[in-house]
Chain A
């Protein structure tokens, strides 16, 4: 039986929220055929759940080909959705594939005035946002209306209640470098490492933190994993502007961009309307 579009959409959402990956193929080639719009889904194995297929195109051959295609796309971190063709014996047909990877997490450590706009922008970008602080008056619902989780933490063991993994994007905006240090020493020793570690601070404060980490035996090469001072250079001054700068760096980290102005990357004026050289 085909999968209803609502069930297919739900599979993708539930899987992403549970930290898994899933893909759905929809038959779109030859749009007027009776099979067009049929769906077949694959949900990848994750802790606590086995890999599974859902729905059917109404042909065993097509289902097998679809399963192979979807497994391959999900298993490859660079695997992309979009149009693909399924070949069964002599025939081939076109499917549109949607892939969902686990929801990205943004863990903001320190619930001060920069954390607030970062939490907003983080939710806007689709991150599951956790705000962590040791002071009960700071990580509050009033101050962080759209954060997914507010955690009261102790800096002796800051991530005790916040499990970190490859999809965790950690942002340190604490009120002192000893707190940054406590977080970094743990984050840097994790395997696999968290997806991103950013830390706000002046050059001086960042340097002081690095000195302490090196003294504690952290390998010099690990320091390169830390994005500090955090953010892209856009001249940000206010907490809101800093949040935009940090968010821009996060997007760049996930999507892979240059951080340059598109104007300079594309050079539309210079490329298509070169200045005449004879003036």
Chain B
């Protein structure tokens, strides 16, 4: 993530919280082999505003968006393994040859929760 990406994501998270909108945040926490985005890539699924950022597009991202909707409904985080190795001989855009681990969590709404400060 570049600093620019960080600023965009921070802004989006801040706005969603201020507006009290429930969102899901997907973070690529690990990759093996060749994947479209690397560890650290982020995507915010904001049902009212759409997507901010990307975890690589294509079928893999569609799986993550599905998980995001499950997480939004349940409030329970999920760890999604996106496998992009299966279709090596097809012409699918998902032919990258790698596996991504994505952590998907609900972003709490409202002003609640811990402000920064000494613990």
Contact = CB atoms under 8 A, between A and B. Distances in A.
Interface of A: 1-7, 9-13, 16-17, 26, 28, 31-32, 36-37, 40-41, 52-56, 63, 81-83, 96, 98, 100, 103, 125-126
Contacts of B6: 9, 12-13, 16, 100
B90 interface: no
20 contacts: A4-B107, A4-B113, A5-B105, A5-B108, A6-B14, A16-B6, A26-B103, A31-B78, A31-B103, A32-B78, A37-B105, A37-B106, A41-B116, A52-B118, A53-B119, A55-B114, A55-B119, A63-B119, A103-B3, A126-B4
A1, A52, A100 — most chain B CB neighbours (10 Å): A1
Interface of B: 2-4, 6-7, 9-10, 13-14, 16-17, 25, 27, 29-30, 39-40, 76-79, 101, 103, 105-108, 112-119
Contacts of B107: 4-6
Contacts of B25: 5
Contacts of B106: 37
B10 A13 contact: yes
Contacts of B29: 28, 82-83, 96
A52 B9 CA distance: 23
Contacts of B13: 5-6, 9
A83 B117 contact: no
Contacts of A98: 40
B30 A83 contact: yes
Contacts of A10: 10, 14
Given A54-B117, A55-B114, A9 B76 contact: no
Contacts of A1: 113-114
B2 A4 contact: no
B19 to A, nearest CB: 12
A98 B40 CA distance: 7
Given A9-B6, A13-B6, A32 B77 contact: yes
Contact of A4 (B27, B101, B108): B108
B114 A4 contact: yes
A96 B14 CA distance: 21
A261 to B, nearest CB: 18
A126 B119 contact: no
B40 A81 contact: yes
A96 B103 contact: yes
A82 B30 contact: yes
B3 A126 contact: yes
Contacts of A5: 13, 25, 105, 107-108
B76 A81 contact: no
B2 A54 contact: no
B76 A32 contact: yes
A84 to B, nearest CB: 10
B25, B76, B103 — most chain A CB neighbours (10 Å): B103
A53 B119 CA distance: 7
Given A54-B114, A54-B117, 20 more contacts: A4-B113, A6-B13, A6-B16, A9-B6, A10-B10, A12-B6, A13-B3, A13-B7, A26-B27, A28-B77, A31-B77, A31-B79, A52-B118, A53-B118, A55-B119, A81-B40, A82-B29, A82-B40, A96-B29, A103-B3
Contacts of A125: 2
